Amino acid sequence: MNEQEIAAAAEAIREADTVAALTGAGVSTASGIPDFRSEDGIWTEYDPNDFHIRRFRADPEGFWDDRIELVEDLFGGNFEPNAAHEALAELEAAGHLDGLVTQNVDGLHQQAGTEEPIEIHGNGQRVACTGCNRRFEADPVFERVREGEVPPTCEQCGEVLKPDVVLFGEQLPKHELLSAQSLSKDTDAYLAVGSSLTVEPAASLPRIAAKNGATLIIVNLDSTGLSGLAEFDFRADVTEVLPAIADAVVNGT
Ligand code: ZN
């Protein structure tokens, strides 16, 4: 890790009026959560077609049986926020991060203390009613599924419950996407963390920011789709670089 570059990136954040961040799978895998798309990711073990919105609509029973299995595989362990989540929460608390967009569905940003992350792929710790659109905590619903209520239904209106995540074949939530885009347009510094920045539309967010003059700071193990646009391109562990940046921003070291 290059100390001078850390200090320079920290200065760009400190001097910015508005700072935004986008986080991807690399921030979750650092907490031990399996990746979806990598070579030995989740979709090598599961068939993505089983988790398609068409399958949910046609066969909610089968969908929920498979979903519970996937949930245990993904979130069966006791996952906790890591140093990258904490560094982002620290930046926000110190007034140096104005909005955080995440592609992750594990809720770890909230656990670390980030106030209201914009969750463009939803949140797996909630379920949504397909009838009345109410949201509920997922764990009690998962428990009902394990006990045989398949598919689980809404206690308010009786319709089928769906995990509150974006399934294959589903549009990203409009409101969240618009918020994420307007945040990108309106920011002086943009941190893109733990994402290969190749999957649209998430990849377009830092691009919009850079095109509108923001300083783009990328932290990812490998080269990304937007590395060429970045002022700072840290190819290193997110749990090392982010705390170093946050520390330099907050404490001026
Ligand atoms: Zn309902």
Q: Please, which pLDDT band fits residue 76 given cuts at 50, 70 and 90?
A: confident
Q: Write down the number of H helices and E strands in the chain.
A: 10, 9
Indicate if the pLDDT at residue 66 is higher than 90.
yes
Stretch 169-176: mean pLDDT: 94
Spatial separation of the C-alpha atoms in residues 55 and 62, rounded to whole Å: 8
Q: Encoding tokens for residue 211? A: 């095109």
Indicate if the pLDDT at residue 97 is higher than 80.
yes
Around ion ligand 1, residues with a beta carbon closer than 5 Å are 129, 131-132, 154, 156-157, 159
State whether 187 and 233 are in the same domain. Answer: yes
Indicate if the pLDDT at residue 202 is higher than 90.
no
Q: Which long-range contacts (CB under 8 A, 24 or more apart) does 60-64 make?
A: 60/151, 60/160, 61/150, 61/151, 63/151, 64/145, 64/150, 64/151, 64/152
User: Whose CA is closest to 106, among 145, 146, 76, 61?
Assistant: 76
Per-chain mean pLDDT for the chain: 93
User: What pLDDT is attached to residue 71?
Assistant: 85
State whether 175 and 198 are in the same domain. Answer: yes
Is residue 189 within a helix (H) or strand (E), and if so which, with residue range? Answer: strand 189-193
User: What pLDDT is attached to residue 39?
Assistant: 62
pLDDT digits (tens, 9 = 90+) for 102-159: 999 999 999 999 999 999 999 999 999 999 999 999 999 999 999 999 999 999 999 9
Whether residue 201 is preceded by a cis peptide bond, meaning omega within 30 degrees of 0, is: yes
Measured from the Cβ of residue 22, the count of other Cβ atoms closer than 10 Å reads 28
State whether 25 and 87 are in the same domain. Answer: yes
State whether 221 and 246 are in the same domain. Answer: yes
User: What pLDDT is attached to residue 35?
Assistant: 75
- Confirm whether 121 is a catalytic residue: yes
Q: Which residues contact 177 (CB under 8 A, 6 or more apart)?
A: 120, 201
d(CA 34, ligand 1 centre) in Å: 31
User: What pLDDT is attached to residue 37?
Assistant: 63
Q: Please, which pLDDT band fits residue 253 given cuts at 50, 70 and 90?
A: low
What's the first-to-final CA gap in the chain, in angstroms? 15
List the domain range (segments joined by +) for residue 215.
1-33+80-121+171-253
Dmax (CA) for the chain in angstroms is 59
State whether 117 and 7 are in the same domain. Answer: yes
Q: Please, which pLDDT band fits residue 67 given cuts at 50, 70 and 90?
A: very high
Q: How many domains does the chain have?
A: 2
Answer yes or no: are the C-beta atoms of 83 and 65 closer than 8 Å.
no
CATH of the domain at 42: 3.30.1600.10
State whether 221 and 178 are in the same domain. Answer: yes
d(CA 117, ligand 1 centre) in Å: 25
State whether 195 and 213 are in the same domain. Answer: yes
d(CA 29, ligand 1 centre) in Å: 33
pLDDT digits (tens, 9 = 90+) for 17-62: 999 999 999 999 999 887 766 666 677 778 889 999 999 999 999 9
d(CA 156, ligand 1 centre) in Å: 5
Domain end (from 165, 193, 217):
165
In eight-state DSSP terms, residue 25 is H
Spatial separation of the C-alpha atoms in residues 81 and 95, rounded to whole Å: 20
Answer yes or no: are the C-beta atoms of 19 and 192 closer than 8 Å.
no
State whether 84 and 144 are in the same domain. Answer: no
Answer yes or no: are the C-beta atoms of 13 and 91 closer than 8 Å.
yes
In eight-state DSSP terms, residue 118 is E
State whether 99 and 177 are in the same domain. Answer: yes
168: helix, coil or strand? strand
CATH of the domain at 250: 3.40.50.1220
d(CA 5, ligand 1 centre) in Å: 51
State whether 226 and 180 are in the same domain. Answer: yes
Domain end (from 138, 165, 192):
165
Catalytic site residue from 52, 109, 121, 175: 121
State whether 148 and 237 are in the same domain. Answer: no
User: What pLDDT is attached to residue 38?
Assistant: 63
